[in-house]
Structure 1
Amino acid sequence: MEIHQLKTFVAVAREGSITRASERLCLSQPAVSAHVKAMEDMLGITLFERTARGMSLTGDGQRILIKAEHTLDTHRDLIDEATRLKGHLAGRLRLGAGGRSSAASIGRLLWELSEHHPDVEVTIQHGTSLDTLNGILHGELDAGFYNEATEPDVDLATIEVSRFGIDLAAPVGLIDPSQPVNWQALGEYPWIFPTTSLCCGQVAENLFRTHGFRPRRIMSIDRESVTRTLLAGGIGVGLLHADTAREAQLCGDVDIVCEAQKTVRVMFAHLASRGQDPLLKAVGSILRSGPVW
């Protein structure tokens, strides 16, 4: 039985779908199906029930999954040990870049790895902070950057790499800066922010809860440049990162209503159980050596 067959089996088990597993593994669907069938033929048992909803593990399959994941962990440990013995870092590092990841930190990390560990291949997957966290927790990413909304998951080891603030902004002339904020009146306008964002979504909910209102309409926009354009066009009120809001204010595009969140931390994270991974230890050392902005 080949390691790549075990990896395919675990991917299908986690995704519950040949199609999603093939996308995750960058393999064709026939290849994924062939790997699963080869394992079933070799083991002499049925691992999955094929249904209209996808692939569901049988009882035997569930027991094999535990052993397969343990075998893959052991295989990774073997590779790590061989790397230590060779005295240099090599391999693939899958990084997630979620939310407003620190471009400076990512750039410095890539430069350091390229300069001092040229045999490390880095791939970066962009998405939301939630995408990055789920990718790390499910083993689809080795590590990643995300915007912290709550206390870090206990299964994660984290490093703060930067921080930023969030402002509530409105079209020019919509509010009177000399008067207290009328939250009920603001609730009549569309609110623009990325509802899928861990930090912005939570900041917005905190504002609604604190001031006892809820907007009649929420527009979920995950691109800050689009949010800024909509605000400048008078479409509604919305959340912008503090530096973007202040730049837009200087340009006469928006007025700042208030500071919605003083500090949001950008974190680097990986599974705590992989704390001794040589490559992740090297990455952590690089990030800790730089300043937190």
Structure 2
Amino acid sequence: MEIYQLRTFLAVARVGHLTRAAEQLHLTQPAVSKQVKALEQELGVLLFERQPTGMVLTKEGRALFPLAERTLFDAMELVNHARGLRGEVAGDVVIGTIIDPDTLRLGSFLGALLAYFPKVQARLQHGISGWVLERVCSGDLHCGFYLGPVLDPDVTSLPMRTLQYVVIGPPHWKERLEQADWAAIAAMPWIGTPSHSSQHRLVHTMFAERGLSVSPVVEADQEASMVSLVRNGVGLATMRDDLAREAQHRGEVSIWPGTVQDCPLSFIFKTTRRDDVLVAACRKALAEVWPSD
């Protein structure tokens, strides 16, 4: 049994489709299909049912999936540890990114990583915080950046900085916002964000603490879209204080003076990967760019 066969099996199982798995693995679809068949022959069980809509795990496949995850992780740990013993850190490290690169100091981080470890190749995957956390937990990402408190006991978070968020509204609502209390703000139309996003959790928490809730009229997943919707009078939203001040200066939004909410920015990885040499390499680069106080 080869490591790449296990990686292919897990990729197909997670996305449920040969083509999409091939894209993730940078392989052709026939190559992925061949690896799955070879693994099935070696194990002596059928792992997938081929259906018109995609690949569905069989009962045997579902039973073997968690074991395959652990086996692949242990195999990669063995390889990485051997590299570390001989003073060589090499390989692909997959890092989840969020928000804008400048806020993360992403360029400096990658520069430090490659300066210390020239044989490491970083692969970036961009998404929202909840997506990064899920992929870190599943093992699809070695590590990543995250906005918000990390409550999962199996995930280690390294604090970087605290970002501040404010409530913004349309520029012509300025007087209305200045006179509004929490209840009035909650009753106004809101622009929602995906349930896994840091802003969704932030809005839910700050109103739930006051026994209130909001009713989104539309959902957006990018700050540029949110600013456009706010500017055109669709509703309220939260935004990073620095970006909101710039947008207010341009006459695009008004800021509600009622609150400034703190949101921690951190670097996360699964605790079981603490000794992974690639994660350790990222931690060293992070400490160079984001030194602890």
Which TM-score applies when normalising by structure 1?
Answer: 0.86
State the one-letter code of the partner of 1:134. Answer: E
SS at match of 1:8: helix
1:67 deviation in Å?
A: 4.3
1:292 deviation in Å?
A: 6.5
1:96 and 2:99 are equivalent in the alignment: no
Map Cα deviations across residues 1-21 of structure 1 (whole Å, 9 max, x no partner): 332222112222333333442
Partner of 2:228: 229
Partner of 2:128: 128
1:245 and 2:241 are equivalent in the alignment: no
What's the C-alpha RMSD, in Å, of the aligned pairs? 2.8
The runs of 5 or more residues in structure 1 that have no matched partner are none
Q: Distance in 1 between matches of 2:50 and 2:10?
A: 16
CA contact (8 A) 2:110 2:285 kept: no
Aligned sequence identity (%): 32
SS at match of 2:82: helix
The runs of 5 or more residues in structure 2 that have no matched partner are none
Q: Distance in 2 between matches of 1:186 and 1:208?
A: 10
Map Cα deviations across residues 241-289 of structure 1 (whole Å, 9 max, x no partner): 1111112223333221135542101110111001111221232233234
State the one-letter code of the partner of 2:3. Answer: I
Moved more, 139-148 or 181-190: 181-190
Q: Distance in 1 between matches of 2:78 and 2:178?
A: 65
State the one-letter code of the partner of 1:137. Answer: C
Map Cα deviations across residues 63-93 of structure 1 (whole Å, 9 max, x no partner): 4434433432232122112211321321111
1:61 deviation in Å?
A: 3.0
1:204 and 2:203 are equivalent in the alignment: yes
Partner of 1:29: 29
CA contact (8 A) 1:105 1:161 kept: no
SS at match of 1:82: helix
Partner of 1:263: 262
Map Cα deviations across residues 15-74 of structure 1 (whole Å, 9 max, x no partner): 333344233323333322221112222333322233455433334334443443343223
CA contact (8 A) 2:204 2:213 kept: no
Q: How does 1:70-89 map to 2 (within 5 A)?
A: 70-89=70-89
Which TM-score applies when normalising by structure 2?
Answer: 0.86
Q: Measured at CA, do residues 102 and 261 of structure 1 come closer, stay the same or move farther in structure 2, by a change above 3 Å?
A: farther
Aligned residues: 291
Partner of 2:137: 137
Q: Measured at CA, do residues 98 and 285 of structure 1 come closer, stay the same or move farther in structure 2, by a change above 3 Å?
A: same
Q: Distance in 2 between matches of 1:65 and 1:227?
A: 40
Q: Distance in 1 between matches of 2:177 and 2:9?
A: 63
Q: Distance in 2 between matches of 1:101 and 1:206?
A: 26
Partner of 1:156: 155
CA contact (8 A) 1:98 1:129 kept: yes
